[in-house]
Amino acid sequence: MDRDAIKTPQVMLSQAQLTNRVAELGAEITRDYAAKDLVLVGVLKGSFMFMADLARAIDLPLRCDFLGLSSYGSSTKSTGVVAFTKDLSGPVEGRDVLIIEDIVDTGLTMAYLLKNLQTRKPASTRIASLLSKPARRQVEIDVDYLGFTIEDRFVVGYGLDFDGLYRNLPYIGTIDDGD
């Protein structure tokens, strides 16, 4: 690995900002899902850190499952091509599904996933996304629990990668030059 080529990102959202917002979202979800059969469905890999923190901020009995979707190669622009790389480990029929996503960008991934999950007859389906880039939206997506709206910059950290790297940063940062 050429370590000299790995840039230090510029902080866009600090660890403290993420912690505070995740706590707020957790409290909101706790209020909304009391007496429901909640299952958090994390979209791998980008949502793993957000999901780990959000799950701990929800004070309710819940289940966790994961699926893998891939819409990016190593490039920083969405291709619009979505593929399942891993499916859920169990049925969600009759359960209240809360999809946990890192970022909604064009919305193509989420539109594909919502359509797919609908065929599995959940009692309800909502979306929690840490980030949203509305400037790039191609299909309308209602994000029920949104952490932050951000400008059209490529971001890394807190689960989000560039070419597999940066996922372990405790903050959200940028590595593009802002053009």
**Contact call for residue 72 and ligand 5GP (CB under 6 A):** yes
Closest by CA position to 66, among listed 82, 89, 98: 89
CA distance 104 to 122: 22
Which lies closer to ligand 5GP via its Cβ, residue 30 or residue 71?
Answer: 71
96-104 and 38-44 strand pairing = parallel
**Contact call for residue 18 and ligand 5GP (CB under 6 A):** no
Which lies closer to ligand 5GP via its Cβ, residue 121 or residue 136?
Answer: 136
Burial class (CB in 10 A: 0-12, 13-18, 19+), 43: buried
Among 105, 122, 145, 147, binds ligand 5GP (CB under 6 A): 105
Out of 65, 105, 144, 177, which one is annotated catalytic?
105
Q: Any alpha helices (H) in 91-140, and if so which ranges?
A: 108-118
**Contact call for residue 106 and ligand 5GP (CB under 6 A):** yes
- The residues binding ligand 5GP (CB under 6 A) are 46, 71-72, 78, 101-110, 154-156, 160-162
